[in-house]
Structure 1
């Protein structure tokens, strides 16, 4: 091989080596860049995940009748949002409304509509469920319908015999719940019998009321719709000609019903946790939970 040929060969090998080294460097830089980009992306995802996590506490206060509904919703929400703590004080609707007004609770709970003077304070009531209260008699009782006024007469002692309200000549045995019962509170507030009620028996559970009515052909009682549906030993009376059902409670035609409301103040800003819980309570996906708590979900 001539000297010239050797020089050309050496130059060719050197050029190839430089090109190979450059390609290797470019590959390494590209790999490093990909890893850095992936790390940045993963970090951003983690940061975004942490930034959307809800945390904090939510205080609710008010209606004793809403205990099962708000308790069920709270448990489900906290199970899905482990960093949120929801508290409930069963103080009555009036106190719940006042607590929303003065800011001592994030959300007030009321099983009645707001009065005009309460609305004037900048309060808002948002229903999350309805409470339908069925009027029941023994399955063999001949009476099928009562007016709201006749029910009031029976539970205030003005009417003491079934023949006074279209039935047989038998003494009426009005059965109801004990003082402090949410169902009793709802029944009395709607029928206008609060502080005037006359009971033959006051019982401490819905099941006990249903059983007592079933075993007494003279009896009349009241219970939440969900507890009565499917019972064959008692019959639901129509009230003003309307049967108690989910449909008639939802459309408002059944008269012995009331709303379960969340009460908030227009002048107060709810925390992110309270806002999230508020929206959760209105979600239609909780309809079965509301039914299981003895209430009627809102119409879709």
Structure 2
């Protein structure tokens, strides 16, 4: 079922891409598909890149897994993923190369009224694998959110915390367990989300909600919003931000990679060179990502 949905999505993307290219026949365009965590970053890079190269970026942020398939199947010129390719993906798509452009943090979001200030690694594992998750500081029942299947943020989360996830039998949420073949899945179904605005809306409304999200996506969403009642939790006592920027000591980080086909175009070469420029790195850091040299 998931593969059928993915194929359907890519067919829609292909029609969008064809339509977009036909409408911009006089323009040089680069079609970029992938991570929702990095989608707004590439939107911000678009004008600067166009001014320097004359190439227009057309960005579709629909998830890392779809980004892999899109570039591998030739639907897009570039993929964006908020993780590394898995060994299975590397074996399946040997024509793909991955280039790390930044690091992003996975942050933990709750309601501003929640008395919890910090979570430990073991707290998060226990909450997501428990049948009845509670907040350590208060004992209140925790309402857990999770990124949906197909998102690099979910893949990075379960890898970092040593978990497995599966779609619930009714298809309405995810279940978690410790990684391995001998553990049982929790009976507690998480609330799935695909976009940062869904996580913020839920945690602003529910005092005992917990979500994990991209710091870059959180930063851009909060920049121009008012009446938001969500806050970031420390992890192991370490704050996410230091002097207004992503704290280099914050440990829950993962890579942002672009994917390219070995038979890349001149436009893709121009994008790779641009992403290594000081101007691009400044924009990357404005999104609270850590630029990589």
**Is the TM value for this pair above 0.5?**
yes
Corresponding residue of 1:279: 273
SS state of the match for residue 65, structure 1? helix
* Greater C-alpha Rg: 1
1:237 maps to 2:233: yes
Determine if contact 2:82/2:153 at 8 Å carries over to the other structure: no
Q: Distance in 2 between matches of 1:174 and 1:70?
A: 29
Name the structure with the higher strand share.
2
Give the secondary-structure state (helix, strand or coil) at the position aligned to 2:212.
strand
2:180 equivalent in structure 1: none
Extract unaligned runs of 5+ from structure 2: 1-26, 167-173, 176-187
Cα distance in 2 for residues equivalent to 1:117 and 1:201 = 28
Structure 1 gaps, min length 5:
1-54
What's the counterpart of residue 24 of structure 2? Answer: none
Q: Give the 5 Å matches for 1:18-33.
A: none
Quote the Cα distance in structure 2 between the aligned partners of 1:155 and 1:286: 37
TM-score after normalising by structure 2: 0.61
Give 2:251's aligned residue: 254
Q: Name the TM-score, length of structure 1 as normaliser.
A: 0.60
2:37 equivalent in structure 1: 65
Q: 1:106 aligns with which of 61, 70, 77?
A: 77
CA distance in 1, matches of 2:289, 2:109: 18
Equivalent position of 2:65 in the other structure? 94
Alignment RMSD? 4.0
Alignment length (residue pairs): 238
Equivalent-residue separation in structure 1 for 2:127 and 2:190 (angstroms): 11
Instruction: Map 1:1-300 to 2 at 5 A.
Output: 56-82=28-54, 84-90=55-61, 92-101=63-72, 103-119=74-90, 121=94, 123-162=96-135, 166-175=136-145, 187=157, 190-191=160-161, 192=163, 194-195=165-166, 196-197=174-175, 198=188, 206=196, 209-210=199-200, 212-213=202-203, 216-225=206-215, 227=218, 234-245=230-241, 251=248, 253-255=250-252, 257-265=253-261, 267-268=262-263, 270-291=264-285, 294-298=287-291
2:111–2:205: 8 Å Cα contact kept in structure 1? yes
* Equivalent pair of 2:37/2:214 in contact (CA under 8 Å): no
